[in-house]
Each structure stands twice: as structure tokens, then as C-alpha cells.
């Protein structure tokens, strides 16, 4: 491999220009790459924001591939992880002629488990013919695959319920006792990661496996010279989740399912086992039914106020203890039964810990899903935990995203993540926002918390949608607002006789909806949190992004309200120091969907009057890209008219 400087790699005559069609040097990208290379060479911590279009992926991949050390790159989602591994890294590696070995490592639930697939085929009990067909397709895929990665099995939908029956969890993995231990895809992926120079993971796996040494990859981090977090704005939420503790009724039901299957295979004469499994299943379902069916979050005070909740916890504890005691008597009969005994003991301990927890540094709360209840204990402050995890072996830590700062100030992010000593750097987007985009804050809108706000917003937005010819994302801050907005838009479109396809988050997978949106060319997609970030629609298919309200987290959220209370007790201004910076980062993410390359043009419409009426509104719009601003509908209509005229020329 030829030895290049950063300047040479990114120059107009360099290897990237020679190897990548359409490549153009960007000063911001070169500066960012040099900062990252310097931080890597000196084992420093760097927090870096790079506006959309900077090319931050190549800006960190080039130093990573040239460094000569072991690098872990962690991304926000599995989709981004696959994109990095399958597209971006091969492109840069080929251009540089780099011999660096690269590995992709995902959580164990992404790899088919030989043992559990065989169990499912032997058991043969499926809820539907479709499920049975999916299992047989997976079985055929197993014979051809080298990686066992379920993402490569295109014949079976990602949301098929059979995946949970043919993959392992940390709890039900038999480890070295597994009869298929030598063929295990999880272990093969980990062996590859240990010998690779560059390993691509995602944030969930990084914290579960590497930081918490939860699933046996404790060797990965000590050998690593650099950790690069892309989409680093997601880390506070992910770290809070993994630095906390949780236990769910779904885990109880999974244990019951596995204990029944192991009993049928190895302990048919133990007649009490099905009885006690049924008792745990009944207690878990009854505990879930003490709370409303609609998925929601509950503070501890709300949970204990529910009739039957505390008795439900006590009843589930009693039944899981009885099951654990019985499983202990059967544990020697098979590896599977021994595993179930161990899991029952761990679940009992977790549930007891949550029930009796009194640590002032953690907030206890619950979250309901359609069929499950998860009980959480979440740390109120992650900075000290993060500092402890990052201490020890000297290495570089790079945190980068398009949205980390508030008006170019990183104080909020560094304080929350415990990065007080970190260097920081900021690069504006190379896009010409003043020419390409318009920020529209309409006049005369009511208070966003007033009754009928969604109705007024849709009425105000509709003339803009007509002018844009659809081609819009309508981003809502709640699922309820999303559903109501979709309903109202449907009525408006029908009355106006407009044939703009109307798509709704949840009607299909995120990728399917995006593909339809791009293909249709004049669609309106109504979405909530899923479409605020990680979505890239270039060209004319997207020319309008509407945001209904400023994305403040609901103050009654149990974790947020506990953090607010703690900050108040410490004499801090929770709104200015915590809630506002988080809202700014979220709205920057939503706004970032609009302009994705140099030729895009569009309007960002924010329908929350607080953007103008409240003193803090200025901090929000000053943190957005430098678009031309208006409060006049006529200017918006003229913008779209000019866009149409330009298209004709």
C-alpha cells in the first residue's frame, strides 16, 4: 500500500479523486480528517460536529485505514452499520489500496443459532403455516450461508416472529455446552472481529458487549487503539439504557417457552415442570394486565398506585422462585435445563433488585409494550460511569455527528457524557443554504398545547403542500399527533381532488416506505421519531419538511422528570441546561432531512409559534443551517414557483 498524507488522499489528484466518480475536495472534510488523524496519533478525545454534506464518513475512515492500529467504528443503527461495511469501507479501501482487514460484528440476535433452529424444527409447533414456511426457508438458508447473518436471508421478513425461535439471547445461549459450539456463527463473527484491524459495530452492541463486557467480547476493547462513534448524538440515550438495569415479562415468557421445550426433550417424567411454567406465564401476563393496554411509560409512583401491581410483582417473584427450585432438581439432565435453571435464578434476582431498589442515583420506572412490561432502573447521571469505562488503556475516542452542538457550543454534550477534557471542533455544511433553502415560520398559530392545534397546523400547511406538489415529510412529535395529521391530510386531499400519495409511518418497514416515497416522486410521508434522523432522500422527491412542534421530550416522562428534579436540587436550570439543548439537537436532526446534496432545494416549515415568541426560540433557529427566513406564505409560494421555473429551463 502506498503511504499518503491526509492532504494527498483528499486532494484533486489523490486516490479518492482517482477512484470515486464525482469526488470533489472539500476543505471541511480535509480539516476534519486531519483533526481526527491527530487525535488518533496522540490518544486524545475529540468531539466533532460536521454539517450535512461535509463527508464525515470518509473523514474518519481515511485516518482509520491509514492509522496502522486497531479501530472500532460504532454506528447508530444496523442499517448504517451494513452501509459502512458493504459500501463505504470497500470504496475507501479500494481507493487507498489498503490491506486492512475489516469485520462486521452484530448482536447475537442477528445470527442464526444451530441449536435453537434444530429445536424449533423438532418441536414443529408454529402459530401459522407462514411461520412454519419461514423456519424451513431459514433452514435452507443455513446450508448456504457463511455468516449466518439474518439480514442476508431475504426470503424471511425481518419482523417474522420465528426469528426469536431460531436465534439465541445472552440468557438462553448454552455457550461451550452447546452441541453446535464449533459451528456457532456468533463465535465465528467474534473470532473474525478479534483478528481484524477495523471492526464495525453499532452503539447497542458496543455498550452491551464491549463497555459492559456482557457477552464475552471483553478482548475486543483492550486491543483497540481508537474508538470512533458516528451518530454520537444517540449515545446519551443508549448509554443510559445499558448502564441501567431492567427486567421484563417477555424474558419470563421466553424462559417458560425454553423450559417447556427442554422439559419435553429431556425431562418428560417431571410432571410438575409444565405446571410451574404455566404458573409463571399466568403471573407474568397478570402483572402486564395491571396496566393499560396502550404502550406507555410509568413513573414508580404511578406503578405502585395501580390496583394489583405490587401484588402482581410479589406473585411473579413467588412463581419464578418455585420454578427455579424445580429446575435446580432437573439441571443435571441436560445443558438446556441447566441453562434454564441459571436464567430463572437471574430473573428472580433482577426482579427482586428492582422491587427493593433504593439507590438515589437511579430512577425506577416501567414501560409497557403491547404484550409486555419492562421494569427499568436508569442512572440519572451517566458522566461518571462513562469516565470510568473510558479510563485505563490509553486510546483515542472520537465522537462525531451532524448534531452535537447548540450554536456551535458543545458544553451540554460534553457535560452529559463526562467529556469535560475533550477537544472539540465544528465544521459548517458546504451547502449554500441561503440559496438552496427557506425556513418558514407561519404567523397566527395557536399555543402548541391548545386543543385543535393539529387541525390548525394542517390547514396552515395545506397551501404549501399544494405549491410543493406533495414531495414532503410531515414530522410529528407524537404518535397521536401523527395519526391525527394523517387523518386530516387524507380529508383535505380528497376535498381538493389532489392525487398525492399519502404514506404513514408503520404501514410498512422504514426502508419500504422510503423506497416507495422516492419512487412515487410526489408523495407525502407522515412520520414520528423514526423519520427524524437516519433518512436520506436526495433530489426532487423531497422538497418540503414540516415540523409540527419543537421536539421537547414530554416533561412527565419518568426519566426526564427525575433528572429535572435532581438538577433543580443541585441549583441548575434544567430547562436551559438539559431540555433545550436536547430539543435543539432533535430539531437539527429533523431539519437535516431537507438538503442532502448541492442541487437540492426546499422549504423547512416549523409550525410552533414558540420559535419566534419565546426568548429561547432564537437559540433554536440560530442553531439551524443559515437558511433565508420568512413568515410570509407568499414568499414560500414564490420559492416553489421559482423552483418549477428552474426545472423547466
Task: Convert the pLDDT of each residue in 526-548 to its tens digit.
Answer: 999 889 988 889 999 999 999 99
pLDDT score, position 646? 54
Does residue 210 register a pLDDT over 80? no
80-88, long-range: CB within 8 Å, 24+ apart, which pairs? 80/202, 80/230, 80/231, 80/534, 81/106, 81/200, 81/201, 81/202, 82/151, 84/57, 84/200, 84/230, 85/200, 88/57, 88/58, 88/61
Element (H, E) at 435: helix 433-436
Element (H, E) at 114: helix 114-123
β-strand pairing of 502-504 with 45-50: unpaired
User: What tens digit of pLDDT does each residue of 331-373 get?
Assistant: 999 999 999 999 999 999 999 999 988 788 999 999 999 899 9
Instruction: Give the burial class of 575: count Cβ atoms within 10 A of its Cβ; 0-12 exposed, 13-18 middle, 19 or more buried.
Output: middle
Domain with CATH 1.20.1440 in the chain: 243-379
User: Which residue did the predictor score with more confidence, 486 or 129?
Assistant: 486
- Among 81, 45, 67, 146, residue whose Cα is nearest residue 391: 45
Find the Cα–Cα–Cα–Cα dihedral 548, 550, 553, 556, rounded to 10°.
Answer: -80
Asked which of 54-58, 117-121, 180-184, 461-465 is least confident by mean pLDDT, the reply is 117-121
Domain with CATH 3.40.50.300 in the chain: 6-107+187-242+381-427, 433-648
- Cα–Cα distance for residue pair 68/649, rounded to 1 Å: 51
The model's pTM is: 0.90
If you ran DSSP here, which 8-state letter would residue 360 be given? T
**pLDDT over 70 percentage in the chain:** 97
Does residue 79 register a pLDDT over 90? no
Does residue 258 register a pLDDT over 70? yes
User: What tens digit of pLDDT does each residue of 573-622 get?
Assistant: 999 999 999 999 999 999 999 999 999 999 999 999 999 999 999 999 99
Helical spans, DSSP H, in 172-299: 185-195, 203-205, 235-243, 249-266, 272-288
Mean pLDDT to the nearest integer, 490-500: 95
Q: Is 49 helix (H, G, I), strand (E, B) or coil?
A: strand
pLDDT score, position 125? 67
pLDDT score, position 648? 38
- Cα–Cα distance for residue pair 63/570, rounded to 1 Å: 41
Specify which of 155-164, 550-559, 631-640 reaches the highest per-range mean pLDDT.
631-640
- Cα–Cα distance for residue pair 421/439, rounded to 1 Å: 36
CATH class of 6-107+187-242+381-427: alpha beta
Question: Interior CA angle at 320 toward 317 and 323, to 5°?
Answer: 150
Q: Is 450 helix (H, G, I), strand (E, B) or coil?
A: coil
- Cα–Cα distance for residue pair 111/90, rounded to 1 Å: 23
**Length of the chain as a residue count:** 649
Distance of CA 475 to the CA centre of its chain: 17
Taking CA atoms, 296 is separated from 58, 293, 303, 539, in Å, by: 40, 9, 12, 37
- Cα–Cα distance for residue pair 351/373, rounded to 1 Å: 12
- Cα–Cα distance for residue pair 574/94, rounded to 1 Å: 49
The number of beta carbons lying within 10 Å of the beta carbon of residue 379 is 21
- Cα–Cα distance for residue pair 232/589, rounded to 1 Å: 12
Residues whose CB is less than 8 angstroms from the CB of residue 522 and which lie 6 or more positions away in sequence, other chains included: 469, 470, 471, 500, 501
Distance of CA 619 to the CA centre of its chain: 26
- Cα–Cα distance for residue pair 493/367, rounded to 1 Å: 37
Instruction: Give the chain's mean pLDDT.
Output: 92
pLDDT score, position 127? 67
Buried b (16+ CB within 10 A) or exposed e, 467-476: bbbbbbbbbb
pLDDT score, position 91? 95
433-648: in CATH 3.40.50.300: yes
pLDDT score, position 396? 96
- Cα–Cα distance for residue pair 199/196, rounded to 1 Å: 6
Does residue 649 register a pLDDT over 50? no
| Packing angle of the helix pair 235-243, 383-390 (nearest 10 deg) | 90
Does residue 45 register a pLDDT over 90? yes
If you ran DSSP here, which 8-state letter would residue 581 be given? H
User: What tens digit of pLDDT does each residue of 309-320 get?
Assistant: 999 999 999 999
Strand partners, 400: 48
| Packing angle of the helix pair 309-330, 272-288 (nearest 10 deg) | 160
Element (H, E) at 591: helix 580-591
- Cα–Cα distance for residue pair 80/535, rounded to 1 Å: 10
pLDDT score, position 260? 93
Does residue 2 register a pLDDT over 70? no
- Cα–Cα distance for residue pair 304/337, rounded to 1 Å: 34
- Cα–Cα distance for residue pair 629/635, rounded to 1 Å: 10
243-379: in CATH 1.20.1440: yes
DSSP 605-637: EE--THHHHSTTHHHHHHHS---EEE--HHHHH
User: What tens digit of pLDDT does each residue of 104-163 get?
Assistant: 999 888 999 999 898 888 877 666 888 888 988 999 999 999 999 998 888 888 778 889
- Band the pLDDT of 77: cuts 50, 70, 90: confident
Question: Interior CA angle at 84 toward 81 and 88, to 5°?
Answer: 170
Strand partners, 200: 73, 104
Amino acid at each position: 500500500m502506498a503511504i499518503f498524507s491526509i492532504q494527498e488522499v483528499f486532494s484533486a489528484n489523490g486516490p479518492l479523486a482517482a477512484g470515486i466518480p464525482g469526488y470533489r475536495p472539500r476543505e471541511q472534510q480535509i480539516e476534519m480528517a486531519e483533526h481526527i488523524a491527530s487525535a488518533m496519533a496522540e490518544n486524545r478525545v475529540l468531539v466533532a460536529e460536521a454539517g450535512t454534506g461535509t463527508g464525515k464518513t470518509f473523514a474518519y475512515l481515511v485516518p482509520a485505514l491509514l492509522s496502522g492500529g486497531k479501530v472500532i467504528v460504532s454506528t447508530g443503527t444496523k442499517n448504517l452499520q451494513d452501509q459502512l461495511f458493504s459500501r463505504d469501507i470497500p470504496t475507501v479501501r479500494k481507493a487507498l489500496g489498503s490491506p486492512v482487514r475489516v469485520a462486521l460484528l452484530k448482536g447475537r440476535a442477528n445470527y442464526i443459532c444451530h441449536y435453537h433452529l434444530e429445536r424449533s424444527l423438532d418441536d414443529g409447533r408454529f402459530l401459522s403455516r407462514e411461520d412454519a414456511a419461514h423456519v424451513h426457508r431459514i433452514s435452507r438458508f443455513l446450508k448456504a450461508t457463511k455468516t449466518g447473518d439474518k439480514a442476508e436471508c431475504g426470503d424471511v421478513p425481518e419482523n417474522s416472529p420465528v426469528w426469536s425461535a431460531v436465534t439465541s439471547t445472552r440468557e438462553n445461549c448454552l455457550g461451550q455446552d452447546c452441541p453446535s459450539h464449533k459451528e456457532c456463527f456468533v463465535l465465528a463473527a467474534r473470532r473474525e472481529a478479534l483478528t481484524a484491524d477495523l471492526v464495525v459495530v453499532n452503539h447497542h452492541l458496543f455498550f452491551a458487549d464491549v463497555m459492559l463486557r456482557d457477552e464475552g467480547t471483553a478482548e475486543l476493547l483492550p486491543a483497540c487503539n481508537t474508538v470512533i462513534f458516528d451518530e454520537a448524538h444517540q449515545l446519551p440515550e443508549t448509554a443510559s439504557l445499558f448502564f441501567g438495569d431492567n427486567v421484563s415479562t417477555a424474558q419470563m415468557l421466553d424462559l417458560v417457552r425454553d423450559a417447556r421445550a427442554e422439559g419435553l426433550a429431556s425431562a418428560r417424567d417431571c410432571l410438575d415442570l409444565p405446571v410451574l411454567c404455566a404458573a409463571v406465564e399466568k403471573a407474568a401476563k397478570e402483572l402486564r394486565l395491571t396496566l393499560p393496554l396502550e404502550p406507555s411509560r410509568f413513573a414508580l409512583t404511578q406503578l405502585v398506585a395501580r390496583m394489583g401491581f405490587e401484588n402482581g410483582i410479589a406473585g411473579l417473584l413467588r412463581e419464578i422462585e418455585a420454578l427455579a427450585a424445580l429446575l435446580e432438581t432437573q439441571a443435571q439432565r441436560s445443558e438446556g435445563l441447566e441453562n434454564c435453571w441459571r436464567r430463572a435464578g437471574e430473573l428472580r434476582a433482577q426482579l427482586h433488585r428492582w422491587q427493593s431498589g433504593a439507590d438515589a442515583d437511579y430512577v425506577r420506572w416501567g414501560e409497557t409494550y403491547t404484550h409486555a412490561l419492562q421494569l427499568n432502573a436508569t442512572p440519572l447521571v451517566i458522566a461518571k460511569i462513562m469516565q470510568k469505562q473510558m479510563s485505563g488503556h490509553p486510546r483515542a475516542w472520537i465522537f462525531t455527528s451532524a448534531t452535537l452542538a447548540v450554536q456551535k457550543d458543545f458544553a451540554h454534550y460534553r457535560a452529559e457524557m463526562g467529556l469535560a477534557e475533550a477537544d472539540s471542533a465544528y465544521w459548517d455544511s458546504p451547502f449554500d443554504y441561503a440559496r438552496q433553502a427557506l425556513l418558514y415560520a407561519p404567523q397566527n398559530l395557536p399555543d402548541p398545547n391548545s386543543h385543535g392545534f393539529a387541525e390548525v397546523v394542517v390547514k396552515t400547511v395545506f397551501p404549501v403542500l399544494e405549491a410543493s406538489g406533495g414531495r414532503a415529510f410531515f414530522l410529528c412529535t407524537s404518535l397521536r399527533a401523527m395519526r391525527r395529521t394523517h387523518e386530516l391530510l387524507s380529508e383535505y386531499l380528497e376535498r381538493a381532488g389532489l392525487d398525492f400519495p399519502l404514506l404513514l409511518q408503520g404501514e410498512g418497514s422504514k426502508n419500504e416506505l422510503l423506497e416507495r416515497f422516492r419512487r412515487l416522486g410526489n408523495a407525502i410521508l407522515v412520520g414520528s421519531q423514526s423519520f427524524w434522523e437516519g433518512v436520506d432522500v436526495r433530489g426532487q422527491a423531497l422538497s418540503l419538511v414540516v415540523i409540527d412542534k419543537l421536539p421537547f421530550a414530554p416533561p412527565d416522562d419518568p426519566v426526564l422528570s427525575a433528572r429535572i428534579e435532581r438538577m433543580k436540587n443541585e441549583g441548575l436550570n434544567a430547562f436551559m441546561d438539559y431540555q433545550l439543548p436536547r430539543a435543539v439537537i432533535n430539531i437539527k436532526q429533523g431539519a437535516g432531512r431537507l438538503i442532502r446534496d448541492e442541487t437540492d432545494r426546499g422549504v423547512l416549515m416549523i409550525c410552533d409559534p414558540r420559535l419566534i415568541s419565546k426568548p429561547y426560540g432564537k437559540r433554536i433557529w440560530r442553531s439551524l443551517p443559515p437558511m433565508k427566513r420568512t413568515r410570509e406564505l407568499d414568499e414560500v409560494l414564490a420559492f416553489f414557483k421559482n423552483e418549477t421555473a428552474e426545472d423547466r429551463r
